[in-house]
Amino acid sequence: MSNFLRMMYGRYGVDNLSKFLFSLYIIIFVIGLFYKNFILDTIGLLLLFIVIFRFFSKNIYKRTKENQIYLKIKNKTLKPFKNIKRNFKERNEHVYKKCHKCKTTLKLPLPYERGIKHAKCPTCKNKITFLCLRKQKIEIIKDNERMKK
């Protein structure tokens, strides 16, 4: 064990980029079970090699830099989908809407009725008009038995 620890001392290990590359490798590996393709196999091996290389690398500065670049690209790519994700996650509670004038994202309570809604951006006072197809759900806390008959 101490030999292993000594070997691992100063090595870079795992980060977000490695996890992402490893997930890609797994996907390619699974595809490979059904569909044999030389190019895919090569890409898969290359990915695995990069993950292992980065894990044992002693150039921590360079690996950290790579990870930062990866996170930057990831954030930029996922940014347009952020509100879609939020709206889905809180579909029974809130509406997330972007102000087209100042690009601020507003968190609004769900309206009582579906339809065209208005809101005022607190940052730039711009009037936002949007269509909301969701409405607040009324939950039943206590069922009145007598009303059922």
- Segment 83 to 102, residues that bind Zn ion, using CB under 5 A: 99, 101-102
Binding mask 29-68 for Zn ion (x = CB under 5 A): ----------------------------------------
Binding-site size for Zn ion (CB under 5 A) equals 8
Minimum CB distance to Zn ion smaller for 60 or for 102:
102
| Site for Zn ion contains 123 (CB under 5 A) | yes
CB 102 within 8 A of CB 124: yes
One DSSP character per residue, 2-70 reads HHHHHHHTT-----HHHHHHHHHHHHHHHHHHHS--HHHHHHHHHHHHHHHHHHH-S-HHHHHHHHHHH
Answer for which of 17, 21, 95, 121 binds Zn ion (CB under 5 A) is: 121
Query: Strand, coil or helix: what is 141?
Result: coil
* Encoded tokens for 69: 């670049």
> What angle (nearest 5°) sits at the alpha carbon of residue 104, between those of residues 112 and 127?
55
Q: Does residue 126 bind Zn ion (CB under 5 A)? A: yes
Region binding Zn ion by CB under 5 A among candidate stretches 17-25, 27-35, 43-51, 103-111: 103-111
For residue 129, the minimal CB distance to Zn ion (Å) is 13
29: its two tokens: 């590996």
Binding site for Zn ion (CB under 5 A): 99, 101-102, 104, 121, 123-124, 126
